[in-house]
Amino acid sequence: MTETKYIFVTGGVVSSLGKGIISSSIGKLLQARGYNITIQKFDPYINIDPGTLNPYEHGECYVTVDGMETDLDLGHYERFTGIQTTKANSLTTGRIYKSVIDKERRGDYLGKTIQVIPHITDEIKRNVKLLGKKYHYDFVITEIGGTVGDIESTPFLEAIRQLKWELGKNALCVHLTYVPYLKAAQELKTKPTQHSVKELQSIGIQPDVLVLRTEKHLNEAILKKVAGFCNVDFDCVIQSEDLPSIYEVPVSMQAQGLDTAILKKMGMEIGEKPSLGPWRKFLERRNKATEEVSIGLVGKYDLQDAYKSIRESLSQAGTYNDRKTKLVFINSEKLTEENVAEQLTGLNGIVICPGFGQRGIEGKIVAAHYTRTHDIPTFGICLGMQMMVIEFARNVLGYADANSREMDEKTEHNVIDIMEEQKNITNMGGTMRLGAYECVLKQGSRVFDIYKQEHIQERHRHRYEFNNSYQKEFEKEGMMCVGRNPESDLVEIVEIPSLKWYIGTQFHPEYQSTVLKPHPLFVDFIKTAIENKKVTHG
């Protein structure tokens, strides 16, 4: 195949329909047919990236290998397809405008008046095609954030209209809408879908494929009605019913022929239907696992999306241990010495979550103390690891004022300190230690045993770091520094080998766990949590 094909995924009616899951599923199905694919996300907000957004606003911030702070949908793309995304896979209106304004300041436009059309739309088009041109992908799937009809997505839709016109059969639009069920009337309603397609048509875009999100099965008559009213071929109207797991979606899409509809529309050969063998095996194992392992997530964001990748990594690791992972959120702001025993009862393992700022950290320290002294498997991630270190310094090394420079500027015992290169940074956006860095594991350590290799690469997002001047004291008392960056000598992993599983990582392993390649740390953590369950329950 020579020319790159472009698939646009838009959404209508309401947000949160799962465009990311549909885009990932399309990617997965085309990949299974042997195509080289990538998926990118364009978000219509003005922030340069979601890095400065509160997780309550936008859920987790996902980090790519090359250090881009991105929308959490990129996590779905990677988990479903195993591809690695980069900076070029994530764009916002802010970045598009910044790039155009920078060009204007440089004088690149030679005296022209800079306008949304053509300059902003051209910049969007250039970015859509960038990946296809540079890496010669067979398919570039572009998901447009937001909902059709939003003022801010208009330039993106205009760019798609132009691209569809210019690229002909090499471009296609998949539109995701919602078919609500009205309980009182006992009816499924297609009108919102018709309206949202009309909205697209009024901008000049005719969707080629419709995916209808629904809580109830849609019969043929409804699908035919939608096809007829929206000028879409009947075999290009697909339904996306609620399923027990997001990982069932690709299989359901394949069964309804979403991939063949796309290939047909683009004038491509259909070929043999791929078996999706390893994926189906994963689902089979997942559905067979009925026994639970309960994991507590100690954090401050009581929002499913705030720790998305951690949740998915734990859930995948459960499957690979033939267990169903039950996740229990524990609000660290409400966790105290008095209630910790009761709050953590029945949990087989605890994850101390990442985060920023003072709020909720004392509860994380309380959790770390309880799990360390009761030998409950504990996984500290980024801020979670830092809290494990602070707890150890306070209660084992005897430094009652031990803290992180982030929380206490003046403490004498800054066991977590600001990184040297972060000291003079004033701009908050995109300036943390971001992306993949090498880490060398200590031979004979627990983590070496888990990874079964000495050199690993993991992704980071932080400004503070273990203070190396305390290393000897920690190690003397049993908390070992077992992973280091070979260049900067920064401590990336601590562990207490005398406990069942007490490991803290400065990096975020959750960004690298995928459906078919679960992360070894999560798999081993769940395995130990299951063993712990057996012990504590006799």
**CB-nearer residue toward ligand GLN: 446 or 463:** 463
C-beta separation of 251 from 280 below 8 A: yes
Q: Does 51 bind ligand GLN (CB under 6 A)?
A: no
Q: How does strand 464-466 pair with strand 237-241? A: unpaired
Written as one string, the DSSP assignment of 442-472 is PTTSHHHHHH-SSEEEEEEEESEEE-GGGHH
DSSP 290: -
CB of 495 closer than 8 Å to CB of 483? no
Taking CB under 6 A as the rule, does residue 62 contact ligand GLN? no
C-alpha–C-alpha distance, residues 91 and 417, integer Å: 32
405 lies in the binding site for ligand GLN (CB under 6 A): no
> Do 462 and 92 meet the contact criterion of CB atoms below 8 Å apart?
no
In angstroms, what is the minimal distance from the CB of 350 to ligand GLN? 16
> Of 369, 413, 460, 508, which is the active-site residue?
508
20, 355, 377, 509: which one contacts ligand GLN (CB under 6 A)? Answer: 355
Q: Closer to ligand GLN at the Cβ: 158 or 458?
A: 458
Active site residue 481: no
Q: Could you give the C-alpha distances from 162 to 122, 148, 156, in angstroms and in order?
A: 9, 16, 10
- The torsion angle over the Cα atoms of residues 333, 338, 342 and 347, rounded to 10 degrees, is 60
**Alpha-carbon torsion angle 409, 414, 419, 425, nearest 10:** 0
Closest CA to 422 of 490, 471, 372, 483: 490
- Whether 530 has a binding-site annotation, put simply, is no
Out of 229, 356, 438, 514, which residue is the one contacting ligand GLN (CB under 6 A)? 356
Nearest to 140 by CA among 89, 175, 64: 89
Based on the shown chain and the rule CB under 6 A, indicate whether residue 463 belongs to the binding site for ligand GLN: yes
Phi/psi of residue 381, each to 5°? Answer: -115, 120
Per CB under 6 A, 29 contacts ligand GLN: no
Number of residues interacting with ligand GLN: please give it, by CB under 6 A: 10
Shortest Cβ 40–ligand GLN spacing (Å): 24
Residue with tokens 């683009």, as numbered in its chain: 266
Minimum distance, C-beta of residue 96 to ligand GLN, in the bound complex (Å) = 27
Residue 462 C-beta: closest distance to ligand GLN, Å: 3
Interaction of residue 382 with ligand GLN, rule CB under 6 A: yes
Based on CB atoms, which residue is closest to ligand GLN, 33 or 459?
A: 459
Q: How far is the CB of 329 from ligand GLN (least distance, A)?
A: 17
Q: Is there a binding annotation on residue 495? A: no
Alpha carbons 373 and 226: distance in angstroms, whole number: 61
Q: Using the rule CB under 6 A, is 446 a contact of ligand GLN?
A: no
374 among known catalytic residues: no
Nearer residue to ligand GLN within complex by CB, 69 or 524: 69
Known binding-site positions for Mg(2+)? 73, 143
- Enumerate the active-site residues: 382, 508, 510
Contact set with ligand GLN (CB under 6 A): 354-356, 382-383, 406, 461-464
